[in-house]
Structure 1
Amino acid sequence: MSSPYINAPIRARMYGSTLHKVVWVVVVVLSAGLLAPPLFFIAAKKRVVAMYVPALYAIFAWGTPMVASLVGNAKNWSGGVLVFTLLIAAVHAAILDTDWKAGR
Protein backbone atom coordinates (compact mmCIF):
# COMPACT_ATOMS: atom_id res chain seq x y z
CA MET A 1 0.00 0.00 0.00
CA SER A 2 1.48 3.34 -0.99
CA SER A 3 0.88 6.66 0.61
CA PRO A 4 0.08 9.72 -1.52
CA TYR A 5 2.47 11.73 0.65
CA ILE A 6 5.57 9.68 -0.15
CA ASN A 7 5.78 10.59 -3.83
CA ALA A 8 4.08 13.97 -3.54
CA PRO A 9 6.00 16.84 -5.13
CA ILE A 10 7.61 19.24 -2.71
CA ARG A 11 6.20 22.73 -3.16
CA ALA A 12 7.46 25.87 -1.52
CA ARG A 13 5.08 27.93 0.57
CA MET A 14 4.09 31.15 -1.13
CA TYR A 15 4.08 33.28 2.01
CA GLY A 16 6.45 32.93 4.94
CA SER A 17 4.03 34.43 7.47
CA THR A 18 0.64 36.04 7.77
CA LEU A 19 2.28 39.48 7.74
CA HIS A 20 3.99 38.63 4.45
CA LYS A 21 0.61 37.66 2.99
CA VAL A 22 -1.06 40.86 4.21
CA VAL A 23 1.75 43.01 2.80
CA TRP A 24 1.43 41.41 -0.65
CA VAL A 25 -2.36 41.78 -0.74
CA VAL A 26 -2.11 45.43 0.35
CA VAL A 27 0.57 46.09 -2.29
CA VAL A 28 -1.66 44.62 -4.99
CA VAL A 29 -4.62 46.73 -3.84
CA LEU A 30 -2.64 49.98 -3.44
CA SER A 31 -1.05 49.59 -6.85
CA ALA A 32 -4.54 49.19 -8.35
CA GLY A 33 -3.63 45.71 -9.52
CA LEU A 34 -0.59 46.85 -11.52
CA LEU A 35 1.79 44.87 -9.29
CA ALA A 36 -0.24 41.67 -9.51
CA PRO A 37 1.76 40.18 -12.43
CA PRO A 38 5.09 40.20 -10.52
CA LEU A 39 3.41 38.55 -7.51
CA PHE A 40 1.97 35.80 -9.67
CA PHE A 41 5.25 35.40 -11.54
CA ILE A 42 6.90 34.65 -8.19
CA ALA A 43 4.06 32.24 -7.42
CA ALA A 44 4.57 30.54 -10.79
CA LYS A 45 8.30 30.18 -10.15
CA LYS A 46 7.45 28.51 -6.81
CA ARG A 47 4.97 26.29 -8.71
CA VAL A 48 1.99 27.53 -6.71
CA VAL A 49 0.15 28.57 -9.89
CA ALA A 50 0.59 27.75 -13.56
CA MET A 51 2.89 29.91 -15.68
CA TYR A 52 0.02 31.32 -17.75
CA VAL A 53 -1.52 33.08 -14.72
CA PRO A 54 1.02 35.96 -14.56
CA ALA A 55 0.69 36.39 -18.32
CA LEU A 56 -3.09 36.78 -18.02
CA TYR A 57 -2.72 39.31 -15.21
CA ALA A 58 -0.16 41.26 -17.26
CA ILE A 59 -2.48 41.31 -20.27
CA PHE A 60 -5.43 42.60 -18.26
CA ALA A 61 -3.64 44.92 -15.80
CA TRP A 62 -1.14 46.46 -18.20
CA GLY A 63 -2.91 45.97 -21.52
CA THR A 64 -6.21 47.60 -20.58
CA PRO A 65 -4.81 51.15 -20.11
CA MET A 66 -2.79 50.86 -23.31
CA VAL A 67 -5.72 49.66 -25.39
CA ALA A 68 -7.99 52.25 -23.79
CA SER A 69 -5.64 55.06 -24.74
CA LEU A 70 -5.38 53.78 -28.31
CA VAL A 71 -9.10 53.22 -28.81
CA GLY A 72 -10.22 56.45 -27.19
CA ASN A 73 -13.27 57.14 -25.05
CA ALA A 74 -11.69 55.10 -22.28
CA LYS A 75 -13.93 56.50 -19.55
CA ASN A 76 -16.70 54.12 -20.47
CA TRP A 77 -15.01 50.78 -19.89
CA SER A 78 -11.35 50.89 -18.86
CA GLY A 79 -12.04 51.79 -15.23
CA GLY A 80 -14.46 48.91 -14.86
CA VAL A 81 -11.99 46.43 -16.29
CA LEU A 82 -9.22 47.68 -13.99
CA VAL A 83 -11.45 47.52 -10.90
CA PHE A 84 -12.55 44.01 -11.83
CA THR A 85 -8.91 42.97 -12.33
CA LEU A 86 -7.95 44.58 -9.01
CA LEU A 87 -10.63 42.69 -7.10
CA ILE A 88 -9.77 39.36 -8.68
CA ALA A 89 -6.03 39.92 -8.11
CA ALA A 90 -6.54 40.81 -4.44
CA VAL A 91 -8.71 37.75 -3.77
CA HIS A 92 -6.37 35.50 -5.74
CA ALA A 93 -3.36 36.85 -3.83
CA ALA A 94 -5.13 36.22 -0.54
CA ILE A 95 -5.93 32.58 -1.33
CA LEU A 96 -2.66 31.64 -3.04
CA ASP A 97 -1.29 29.64 -0.15
CA THR A 98 -4.30 28.10 1.53
CA ASP A 99 -4.30 24.49 2.67
CA TRP A 100 -7.58 23.51 1.03
CA LYS A 101 -6.18 23.52 -2.51
CA ALA A 102 -6.12 20.26 -4.42
CA GLY A 103 -2.73 18.63 -4.55
CA ARG A 104 -1.66 19.68 -1.08
Structure 2
Amino acid sequence: MSNPYLDAPLRARMYAKTWHKLVWVSAVVLSAGLLAPPLFFIAAKKRVVPMTVPALYAAATYGTAVLGDALGNGGNWVGGILALTLITAAAHAAILDTDWKTGR
Protein backbone atom coordinates (compact mmCIF):
# COMPACT_ATOMS: atom_id res chain seq x y z
CA MET A 1 0.00 0.00 0.00
CA SER A 2 1.46 3.36 -0.95
CA ASN A 3 1.34 6.45 1.20
CA PRO A 4 0.98 9.78 -0.65
CA TYR A 5 3.09 11.52 1.97
CA LEU A 6 5.97 9.06 1.75
CA ASP A 7 5.83 8.67 -2.03
CA ALA A 8 5.59 12.40 -2.72
CA PRO A 9 8.17 13.82 -5.14
CA LEU A 10 11.14 15.62 -3.67
CA ARG A 11 10.89 19.38 -3.54
CA ALA A 12 13.75 21.84 -3.35
CA ARG A 13 14.18 24.06 -0.34
CA MET A 14 13.60 27.73 -0.87
CA TYR A 15 16.31 28.83 1.54
CA ALA A 16 19.52 26.87 2.09
CA LYS A 17 20.38 28.61 5.36
CA THR A 18 18.56 30.78 7.86
CA TRP A 19 20.47 33.90 6.85
CA HIS A 20 19.23 33.43 3.26
CA LYS A 21 15.70 33.81 4.60
CA LEU A 22 16.75 36.90 6.54
CA VAL A 23 18.32 38.46 3.45
CA TRP A 24 15.29 37.78 1.22
CA VAL A 25 12.70 39.00 3.72
CA SER A 26 14.80 42.10 4.41
CA ALA A 27 15.17 42.74 0.67
CA VAL A 28 11.40 42.55 0.20
CA VAL A 29 10.82 44.97 3.07
CA LEU A 30 13.61 47.41 2.17
CA SER A 31 12.55 47.55 -1.48
CA ALA A 32 8.99 48.43 -0.38
CA GLY A 33 7.71 45.19 -1.89
CA LEU A 34 9.19 45.72 -5.35
CA LEU A 35 11.39 42.62 -5.02
CA ALA A 36 8.48 40.37 -4.03
CA PRO A 37 7.64 39.22 -7.59
CA PRO A 38 11.24 38.13 -8.38
CA LEU A 39 11.46 36.26 -5.04
CA PHE A 40 8.25 34.38 -5.70
CA PHE A 41 9.28 33.74 -9.32
CA ILE A 42 12.36 31.97 -7.97
CA ALA A 43 10.14 30.07 -5.54
CA ALA A 44 7.86 29.06 -8.41
CA LYS A 45 10.82 27.83 -10.46
CA LYS A 46 11.82 25.68 -7.46
CA ARG A 47 8.19 24.49 -7.28
CA VAL A 48 7.68 25.82 -3.78
CA VAL A 49 4.66 27.90 -4.88
CA PRO A 50 2.53 27.81 -8.05
CA MET A 51 3.41 30.17 -10.90
CA THR A 52 0.26 32.23 -10.25
CA VAL A 53 1.74 33.59 -7.01
CA PRO A 54 4.47 35.76 -8.62
CA ALA A 55 1.96 36.90 -11.24
CA LEU A 56 -0.45 38.05 -8.53
CA TYR A 57 2.29 39.85 -6.61
CA ALA A 58 3.49 41.56 -9.81
CA ALA A 59 -0.05 42.65 -10.66
CA ALA A 60 -0.65 43.96 -7.16
CA THR A 61 2.68 45.75 -6.86
CA TYR A 62 3.41 47.10 -10.32
CA GLY A 63 -0.21 47.33 -11.46
CA THR A 64 -1.17 49.46 -8.47
CA ALA A 65 1.70 51.86 -9.11
CA VAL A 66 0.87 52.21 -12.81
CA LEU A 67 -2.87 52.51 -12.19
CA GLY A 68 -2.32 55.07 -9.44
CA ASP A 69 -0.15 57.13 -11.75
CA ALA A 70 -2.73 56.96 -14.55
CA LEU A 71 -5.80 57.69 -12.41
CA GLY A 72 -4.28 59.97 -9.83
CA ASN A 73 -3.83 59.31 -6.16
CA GLY A 74 -6.60 61.41 -4.65
CA GLY A 75 -7.09 59.59 -1.37
CA ASN A 76 -3.60 58.11 -1.13
CA TRP A 77 -5.01 54.69 -1.91
CA VAL A 78 -1.85 53.57 -3.72
CA GLY A 79 0.23 53.79 -0.54
CA GLY A 80 -2.31 51.72 1.38
CA ILE A 81 -2.46 48.96 -1.19
CA LEU A 82 1.32 48.86 -1.54
CA ALA A 83 1.73 48.73 2.26
CA LEU A 84 -0.70 45.79 2.49
CA THR A 85 1.10 44.04 -0.36
CA LEU A 86 4.44 44.63 1.36
CA ILE A 87 3.25 43.16 4.66
CA THR A 88 1.66 40.17 2.93
CA ALA A 89 4.75 39.50 0.79
CA ALA A 90 7.12 39.73 3.76
CA ALA A 91 5.02 37.32 5.83
CA HIS A 92 4.62 34.96 2.88
CA ALA A 93 8.38 35.03 2.19
CA ALA A 94 9.11 34.25 5.84
CA ILE A 95 6.92 31.11 5.89
CA LEU A 96 7.93 29.58 2.55
CA ASP A 97 9.99 26.71 4.04
CA THR A 98 8.01 25.99 7.19
CA ASP A 99 6.71 22.61 5.95
CA TRP A 100 10.08 21.41 4.65
CA LYS A 101 11.51 18.51 6.61
CA THR A 102 15.00 17.02 6.52
CA GLY A 103 15.19 13.79 4.60
CA ARG A 104 12.36 14.56 2.17
TM-score between the two structures when normalised by the length of structure 1: 0.90
Cα offset, 1:99, TM superposition: 1.9
- Aligned to 1:58, the other structure's residue is in SS state helix
Measured in 2, the distance between the counterparts of 1:21 and 1:49 equals: 16
Query: Which 5+ residue runs of structure 1 have no aligned equivalent?
Result: none
How many percent of aligned residue pairs carry the same amino acid? Answer: 68
Report the AA paired with residue 42 of structure 1. I
Structure 2 alignment gaps of length 5 or more: none
User: Aligned ranges for residues 22-37 of structure 1 at < 5 Å?
Assistant: 22-37=22-37
Say if 1:24 and 1:74 are closer, same or farther in 2 by CA, change over 3 A: farther
1:9 aligns with 2:28: no
Q: Could you say which residue in structure 1 is the equivalent of 2:39? A: 39
Check whether the contact 1:68–1:74 (CA below 8 A) recurs between aligned residues.
no
Instruction: Spell out structure 1 runs of 4+ moving beyond 6 A.
Output: none
Q: What is the CA RMSD across the aligned residues, in angstroms?
A: 1.6
Deviation at 1:7, TM superposition (A): 2.3
Structure 2: distance between partners of 1:29 and 1:12: 24
Q: 2:48 maps to which residue?
A: 48
- CA deviation string 1:21-66 (max 9, x = no partner): 0000000000000000000000000000000000000001111111
Corresponding residue for 1:64?
Answer: 64
CA distance in 1, matches of 2:74, 2:41: 28
2:20 corresponds in structure 1 to 20
For residues 70-81 of structure 1, the aligned pairs below 5 Å read 70-81=70-81
C-alpha separation in 1, matches of 2:61 and 2:67: 11
Whole-angstrom CA distance in 1 between matches of 2:74 and 2:32: 17
